[in-house]
Structures are given as structure tokens and as C-alpha cells.
Structure 1
Amino acid sequence: MYDLLVVGAGPYGLSIASHAADAGLSLRVFGRPMASWRDNMPAGMFLKSEPWASNLSDPAGRWRLDAYCATRGTAARHGQPIPVEMFAGYGLWFARNAVPEVDERTVTRIAARPGFFEAVTEDGETVRARTVALAVGVLPFTEIPAALRALPRDLVTHSSHHGDLERFRGRDVTVIGGGQAALETAALLAEQGTRVRVLARAGRLGWNDVPPPWERPWWRSARSPHSGLGCGWRNWFYAERPGLYRRLPEPTRARIAATALGPAGAWWVRDRVEGSVEVLLGHEVTAARAVPGGVRLEVTGSGRVETEHVIAATGFRATRDRLGLLAPALRDSLAVVADGSPEVGRDFESSHPGLFLAGLVTAAGFGPAMRFVHGATFTAGTLVRGVRRRLRTGLPDAAIPAPGRRGAAQAVRG
């Protein structure tokens, strides 16, 4: 019986595991380290976050991105984006040095039992633990517009489905969306010889500004401080005070989670899009059907677009019902907030005692930082403190959900 089972080995899962090991907890870590960064992002992409805001978290702060870059004979400099391949390599280096051995098997099911949790791996092994930290990243939560969902995957995919865009060389592709994923995907497609267009609902594209220098006159920093989510006091609050963010009224948190840091392209991708990629603004897909050679899209604004393939760069919805590896009785027992995501307490514990959540699925509770690597530092330390508190108090019998009851487990908050 382990103290903690960490499911997921991306930036959040690895950071949690590092803090848990340092705290002396007995733990198992499952997942392929940095899998989504290695497998689901095409070569040539860059991190949108600043290098200094892209560290995984270990208690001593030894295994930072700049330290890894130094081992590779390069530097992590403010204002210079980091290639995704380098960041994935950094995560693997972090896993080797700051985390106990990672079991790369997939956990397929987690169920609650009296006083503990039971996890089943892809090859049938059963592992028991008193607490679980679920850090499954973003891939379970991909969002494709309703008009496109009925089409087969050879015609419509999500932007996160592609680790290689080579299959689209010389073809006609339409990218849906107006954020970084859409614009960078479109730029990479155009640069390899794909005929590509972007359809965006907004009337104009948003572009992030070039970040100001790290060293600035004090009065400039006072007016608009740097933060892990960009400059400005509002971004600083989201990035550096997620614990205070959680104290905001739920309607305020829901509004911010839905609107803050909206779709925008990084400054360094703008020149690669403008003049190279056809952009159709004020366009929304209302219907789609397969036709010989591809897809016919019915679109507001221009009527009809025919293309060979559609890539939906339309983000993610981290709702409770998409946590498919949780046994139905456990999943359905979780309390939710207005956007359908699971409710979490002050230390990331769900409404089911002993089940902790991390990453995008907690953004409604702790704010926009949970959508970025930067949020892993606050999450790891806070969550592990919550795990230790839960281990001291134990799992109450009332926490075991009754099969078939939706939203039943509300008691015993951390």
C-alpha cells in the first residue's frame, strides 16, 4: 500500500512526484514522461511562456530549465522562445534527476475502496494507494466544435493530435481557431508547402507584444511587473497568487477562467502568418459534411469552404465527465463548479477525500496559471501538503461513493 499514486508524468505530475519524494512519502508514478510534449507537438514549435516561467518544480530548485540548458551548451534567455524539443528534453532530464523511477505503463482505471484507492494498469496489474494525484494534462479534454464531431478522424483532427505535420505536405488544410495553437500550426503548414487557411470567429487576431527587457527602470516594473503569465498586475495576481485567487467568489472565478488570457498569437509567430497564411475573420463553421476529396464546411461570412482536412485548434474543456479513467461511481460522485469541472479545495483535494487533481482541470478553482507550466510550482507544494494532511486524518467511510449516485460525495473537505 503506497501513500500516494501519481498518475501522469508531465510537468505537473513530475513536479508533484519530486515534492512527494522529498517529503518522505512512499509513492508510485505512472505515465510516459513528457508524453504530450514529445508525441503531440510538431517539430518547429516553441513554448509561448518565457524560459524563466517554464520550470518544473523540485523543493530545492536545483533542476531548473536554465540549468538544463547550460548542460546543453546553450542559455535560457528572457525574450527568446524555447523549442518544444528542448523543453521535452528538459522534462526527461528532470525526471531522471528529481523524481523516483517512473513506470511508463498507462493507468486505465482508478476506483475508490474503503480506506484506499485501487488503480489498474494497461496490463492488468492492480496498485493500491491511500491517496491519488491525478495529473493527466490536457489530452483527455480536447474540444472539437459540434459541427465537426461527426466526421471521421481522417478528415477532422484536433491540433493536439499531431506530432508530425508531414502528412499534410502539398495538401489543402483549414485550421479552425484564432489562438497560438491555430496560428503556429498554420505557420508550420505553410512553411512546409501546405496550402492552408485559418478560420476564426473573432473580427481580428490578437497578438502578444514583445516582452519588455528583464532589467528595466524601477518605475516601469512598478507599473507593469513581469509575471509567469505576462506583464501587468492582473497577470501577476493570476500567476503568483493562485491561493488568493481561489478565495474570489465563484462567479468571479468562472468569469475570469472563461475570459482571461484569451486567444492570441505570440509575437514571434506574427511575421510567419501575416502575408503567408490566408486568414478568414468573423467566420464560424455551422455545418460540415464529407465530400469527394475532403470536407465541405458551411461557414458564416463566406458561405462555403472546401478543404481536404480540418484541424481544430479549438482548445480544451476540462469537465468531470471527461475523466474517463476514473471508475463511474467515483467520477460521478465528484462535486462540480459552474463550468462542469471538478470542485477542488484549498490544497487541490477533490470533493472525494484523498483524490487530488492537478493542472488544467483545476483552472476554475485556482485560475489561469493552471493552464501553464508555471502553475506546477504552486500546485506541487500545496498538493503534497494536502496529501500529508489527508494521510494524517485518513479516508472516512462516508467518502466511498455509492454506485449510480451522481454528485453524492460532498463532505470532508481538505
Structure 2
Amino acid sequence: MYDLLVVGAGPYGLSIASHAAAAGLNLRVFGRPMASWRDNMPRGMFLKSEPWASNLSDPAGRWNLSAYCTEQGLTARHAKPIPVEAFAAYGLWFARHAVPEVDERTVTRVTSGPDGFTVVTEDGEALYARSVALAVGVMPFVEVPSALRGLHPALVTHSSHHSDLDRFRGKDVTVIGGGQASLETAALLAEQGTRVRVLARADRLVWNDVPPPWERPWWQSVRSPHSGLGPGWKNWFYSERPGLFRRLPEPTRARIATTALGPAGAWWVRDRVEGAVELLPGHEVATASAVSGGLRLDTVSREGALRTLETEHVIAATGFRARCDRLGLLSAELRGTLATLPDGSPAVGRDFESSAPGLFFAGLVTASGFGPAMRFVHGATFTAATLVRGVHRRLRTTPAGSRVPVPGGRSRNQSPSPVRP
């Protein structure tokens, strides 16, 4: 019987595992490390977050992105984006140094019982744990507009379905969405010779400004402080005080989770899009149908004007919707016990524990409770430390001699860092 099973090996799962191992919990970690970063983002993409806001979290802060870049001879500098491939490699490096060995099998089922949880792997092995942390990332929550659902994957895909875009060379592609995924995908397509257009509901595209210099007069910092989610006091609050965010009234949290840090493109991709990509803001797909050679899209503008266009493929860069009913690895009985928020995401307490005792959630699925930081890597630091304290509260005590050795970390015989109850 394990103290904790961590399901997921992305930035949140690896960070939780690092904190849990250092705190002396008997744990196992499941998942292919950094899988979505390695498999679901095209080559040539960059991390939108600042390098200093993109650290995975270990208790000592030893295995951060800056340390990795220094070791590899790379540059991690404010206002200089990091390639996604480099960030994925950093995550693998973090896993080797700060986390117990990761079991790369996929977890297919989690059920609950009177003594804890049963976790079943893809090859049928059952393991038992007193608590489970689900850090499954974003892939279970892919969202595609209703007008495009049901069409063949040869015609419609989600932006997260592509590790490269080579198949679209010389073709005509329509990208739907006004955020970073849409705009950067469109830029990469245009740069490889694809005829591409971006169709977005908003009346105009939004572009983030170049961040202010790291070193600047004190009065500028006071007026608009740096934060892990960008400059400004609102972003600072969302980024650095998720525990206080959770205390806001639920309707306020829901509104902020829906509207804050809305769709926008990074400043460094703007010149790659404007003038190179056909932009159609203020349009939404009303109906879509397969035709010879691709699809026909019937669109409607904000003013109600209709337009029809034909394209060979649609890439829906339309984000993710974190709902409990999309967590197919949870048994129906366990899903049925979960209290949910109005948006369908799980209601979690101050330490990320759900209404099912011992079942914890991390990442995007907690954004409606803890704020926009949970949509970004930056939120992993707060989550990992807070969630592991919550596991301790649930377990009450840590069994002696149950520590898991961590490569490059403290030895089995060293005392773990204290965790306040």
C-alpha cells in the first residue's frame, strides 16, 4: 500500500513527485515524462512564459530551468523565449535528478474503496494507495467547436494533435482561434509554404506587449510589478497568491477564470503572422461539411453576415475544457462522488483535495478554484508544496523508513524537510 500514487508526469506531476519524495512519502509516479510537450507541439514552437517563470519545482529549488540552461550552454534570459524542445528536455533532466524513477505505463483506471484507491495500469497490474494525485495535464480536455465535431480526422484536427506540420506543406489550411496556439501554428504553417488563414470569433486579434525590462526604476516596478503571468498587479495576484484567490466568492473566481489572460499572441510572433497569414477576426463557424478535396465552412460574423469558404483542412486551436466527465480513467462510481463547480471542474479544498477523501487534483483542472496560474507551468510550485502538505494531512503520519531515493537528491538516511500539518 503506497502513501501516494501520482498519475501524470508533466510539470505538475513531476513537481508533486519531487516534493512528495523529499517529504518521505512512499510513492509511485506514472506517465511518460513531458509527453504532451514532446508529442503534441510542433517543432519550432516557443514557450510563451518567461524562462524565470517556467521552473518545475523541487523543495530546494535546485533543479530549475536556469541551472539546466547553464549546464547545457543555453541562454535563459528575460524576454527571450525558450524553444519548446528545450523546455521538454529540461523536464526530462528534472525527472532524472529530482524525482524517483517514473513508471512510463499509462494508468487506465482509478477506483476507490474503504481503504484507499486501486490504480490499474495499461497491462492490467493493480496497485493500491492511500491517496492519489491526478496531474493529467490538458490532453483529456481537448475542446473542438460543435460545428466541427464528428468530421473525419483527415479533415479536422485539434492543434494539440500535431508534433509536426509537414503534412500540410503546399496545402490550404484554416486555423480556428485567436490565441497563441492558433497564431503560432499559423506562423509555422506559412513559413513552410502552406496557404493559411486564421478565423477567430473576437473582433480583433490581441497581441501581448514586449515585457518591460527586468532592471528598471523602482517606481515602474511599483506601478506594474513583474509576475509569473506577466506585468501588473492583477497578474501578480493571480500568479503569486493562488491561495488567496481561492477565498474569493465562487462567481468572482468563475468570471476571472473565464476572462483573465484571454486569447492573445506573444509579441515575438506578431511579425510572423501579420502580412503572411490571412486574418479573419469576427467570424465563427456555423456549419461545416465535407466536400471534394476538403471542407466547406459556413461562417457568420458578429453582424450576422454569412460567408462560405473552402479549405483542405481545419486545425482547431480552440483550447481545453477541464470537466470531470472527461476524466475517463476515473471509474463512474468515483466520478459520481465528486462535487463539481458550475463549469464542470472538480471542487477542491485548500490543499487540492477533492470531495473524494484522498483524491487530489493538479493543473488546468483546478484553475476555477485557484486561478489562472494553474493554466501555466508557473502554478506547479504552489501546487506541489500545497498538495503534498494536504496528503500529509490526509495520512496524518509518515511511516518510518518509507522514503524513496531520489537521484541527485538527499539520501535515504537523511531527514526529509519538515512539512507543517
1:90 corresponds to which letter in structure 2? Y
In the alignment, the residues of structure 2 paired with residue 150 and residue 85 of structure 1 have an alpha-carbon distance, to the nearest angstrom, of 32
1:49 aligns with 2:35: no
1:339 aligns with 2:343: yes
Q: Give unmatched runs, 5+ long, in structure 1.
A: 395-413
Q: Secondary structure at the match of 2:3?
A: strand
Residue 360 (structure 2) aligns with? 356
1:369 aligns with 2:340: no
Residue 253 (structure 2) aligns with? 253
Residue 122 (structure 1) aligns with? 122
1:311 aligns with 2:325: no
1:320 aligns with 2:339: no
1:282 aligns with 2:286: no
**1:235-286 deviation digits (Å, cap 9, x = unpaired):** 0000000000000000000000000000000000000000000001111000
Residue 378 (structure 1) aligns with? 382
**1:346-398 deviation digits (Å, cap 9, x = unpaired):** 0000010000000000000000000000000000000000001001189xxxx
In the alignment, the residues of structure 2 paired with residue 209 and residue 40 of structure 1 have an alpha-carbon distance, to the nearest angstrom, of 27
Map 1:14-413; keep pairs closer than 5 Å.
Answer: 14-301=14-301, 302-392=306-396
**1:163-187 deviation digits (Å, cap 9, x = unpaired):** 0100111111000000000000000
1:47 corresponds to which letter in structure 2? L
Q: Secondary structure at the match of 1:184?
A: helix
332-341 vs 174-183, which moves further: 332-341
In the alignment, the residues of structure 2 paired with residue 164 and residue 265 of structure 1 have an alpha-carbon distance, to the nearest angstrom, of 20
In the alignment, the residues of structure 1 paired with residue 206 and residue 107 of structure 2 have an alpha-carbon distance, to the nearest angstrom, of 39
| Cα displacement (A) at 1:75 | 2.0
Q: CA RMSD in A?
A: 1.1
Identity of aligned residues (%): 79
Q: Secondary structure at the match of 1:284?
A: strand
Change beyond 3 A, Cα 1:393–1:286: farther
2:228 corresponds to which letter in structure 1? G
In the alignment, the residues of structure 1 paired with residue 179 and residue 43 of structure 2 have an alpha-carbon distance, to the nearest angstrom, of 19
**1:302-359 deviation digits (Å, cap 9, x = unpaired):** 5111101000000110011011100000012100011110100000000100000000
14-23 vs 66-75, which moves further: 66-75
Q: Secondary structure at the match of 1:331?
A: helix
Q: Secondary structure at the match of 2:236?
A: helix
In the alignment, the residues of structure 2 paired with residue 244 and residue 282 of structure 1 have an alpha-carbon distance, to the nearest angstrom, of 36
In the alignment, the residues of structure 1 paired with residue 46 and residue 258 of structure 2 have an alpha-carbon distance, to the nearest angstrom, of 24
In the alignment, the residues of structure 2 paired with residue 240 and residue 338 of structure 1 have an alpha-carbon distance, to the nearest angstrom, of 25
1 or 2 for the larger relative contact order (CA 8 Å, sep ≥6)? 2
Q: Secondary structure at the match of 1:388?
A: helix
In the alignment, the residues of structure 1 paired with residue 156 and residue 122 of structure 2 have an alpha-carbon distance, to the nearest angstrom, of 28
97-106 vs 148-157, which moves further: 148-157
In the alignment, the residues of structure 2 paired with residue 116 and residue 304 of structure 1 have an alpha-carbon distance, to the nearest angstrom, of 55
2:388 corresponds to which letter in structure 1? V
**1:189-226 deviation digits (Å, cap 9, x = unpaired):** 00000010000111100000000100110000000000
| Cα displacement (A) at 1:150 | 1.5
**1:57-87 deviation digits (Å, cap 9, x = unpaired):** 0000000000000111122000000000000
Q: Give unmatched runs, 5+ long, in structure 2.
A: 399-420
1:226 corresponds to which letter in structure 2? H
In the alignment, the residues of structure 2 paired with residue 65 and residue 265 of structure 1 have an alpha-carbon distance, to the nearest angstrom, of 23
**1:18-68 deviation digits (Å, cap 9, x = unpaired):** 000000000000000000000000110000000000000000000000000
| Cα displacement (A) at 1:287 | 0.5
In the alignment, the residues of structure 2 paired with residue 264 and residue 62 of structure 1 have an alpha-carbon distance, to the nearest angstrom, of 32
2:78 corresponds to which letter in structure 1? H
Residue 411 (structure 1) aligns with? none
Aligned length: 395
